[in-house]
Amino acid sequence: MTRLPITKTPKVYVGGAFIRSESGRTFPFKDARGAFVGHIPQCTRKDLRNAVEAAAKAGPGWARRTAYNRGQILYRLAEMIEARTGELAAALTPGQPKGVAAATREIGACVDRMIHYAGWADKYEQLLGSVNPVAAPYFNFTVTEPMGVVGILAPAEAPLLALLSLIAPAIVSGNTVVALASEPNPYPATVLGEVLATSDLPAGVVNLLTGFRKELIPTFATHAHLRALSGVTSAEETKALQIGAADSIKRLHLQPAESPIDWYDPRVQGLYPIRNLVEFKTTWHPVGA
């Protein structure tokens, strides 16, 4: 007699907990052959606000960690992804065993991307900060600080690699994030939550939502506690976000969905995605007895 397998209920990862949408709404997710995979939470504006609250709560503690510690935690996250390559690859390609090779390549790229940013944790400051030679007796220096809570809008494609490529440069500097997963392919993000939960990443640093962009983008645009948005958006979404961002003078770093991005290209990573999501603070300290 064959054993009936236990299927996993997809849940979103918010504030370190696995939750359904507060609204109780879900939408069915089907695999490539049209077979039912699971019910994906259809997160609401209220879920988004709750996630921002969780991220805001986690923010100061995460920002206070030493750079070395944040680097190690990002590295640990990479270790966890590597260890779960099979599971994540399967989540990328439900019902299409032939796609597993490509999916495994995506997971490998995710691991490499995390390692890249793990290494940046205690280095970007030396490149982005400065001591400034002012023409007066002051020790004047500029340091970076995280912006706070960053909203992330992942593109449709590369549902894990693009998502992580957007999250990593945000959290490496001490920001916390609320990320909306790929709309057409949200399932892998629900599995990614389990990976995050078993890494050493503190609860609330990364919060993952699934749902519909049309429903959530107005709140991403206007929520005053989201200090910055980073992601890939259509021209129409970009305009809506830019108009809404004016309310609280939000920082936006949006890439056009209309021009394809090769997420495997090492050129999408580096110092400047980190720079986009930090503030610069300059301190004047007198020099004297």
* Binding-site ranges for other proteins (CB under 8 A): 127, 130, 132-136, 138, 140, 142, 227, 235, 238-240, 242-243, 245-249, 251, 267, 270-272, 275, 279-286
Nearer to other proteins, 50 or 238 (CB): 238
Closest CA to 146 of 15, 7, 277: 277
- 142: β partners: 130, 282
Nearer to other proteins, 101 or 271 (CB): 271
C-beta of residue 185 within 8 angstroms of C-beta of residue 158: no
For 17, phi and psi rounded to 5 degrees?
A: -120, 155
CB of 268 to other proteins, least distance (A): 12
CB of 45 to other proteins, least distance (A): 21
CB of 218 to other proteins, least distance (A): 14
Nearer to other proteins, 146 or 186 (CB): 146
CB of 76 to other proteins, least distance (A): 26
Nearer to other proteins, 88 or 153 (CB): 153
Could you give the count of Cα atoms lying within 13 Å of 210 in the half-sphere of its Cβ?
31
Q: What is the per-residue DSSP string for 131-200? A: EE--SSSEEEEEEEEE-SEEEEE--SSSTTHHHHHHHHHHHTTT-EEEEE--SS--HHHHHHHHHHHHSS
Tokens 């019902």 appear where? 95
CB of 87 to other proteins, least distance (A): 35
C-beta of residue 170 within 8 angstroms of C-beta of residue 150: yes
Tokens 């100061």 appear where? 60
Nearer to other proteins, 29 or 220 (CB): 220
Nearer to other proteins, 27 or 280 (CB): 280
CB of 275 to other proteins, least distance (A): 8
CB of 129 to other proteins, least distance (A): 9
How crowded is residue 245: how many other Cβ atoms within 10 Å of its Cβ? 19
Nearer to other proteins, 20 or 250 (CB): 250
- Cα dihedral sign for 108, 112, 114, 118? positive
DSSP code, position 44 = -
Reduced to 3 states (helix: H, G, I; strand: E, B; else coil), residue 203 is: coil
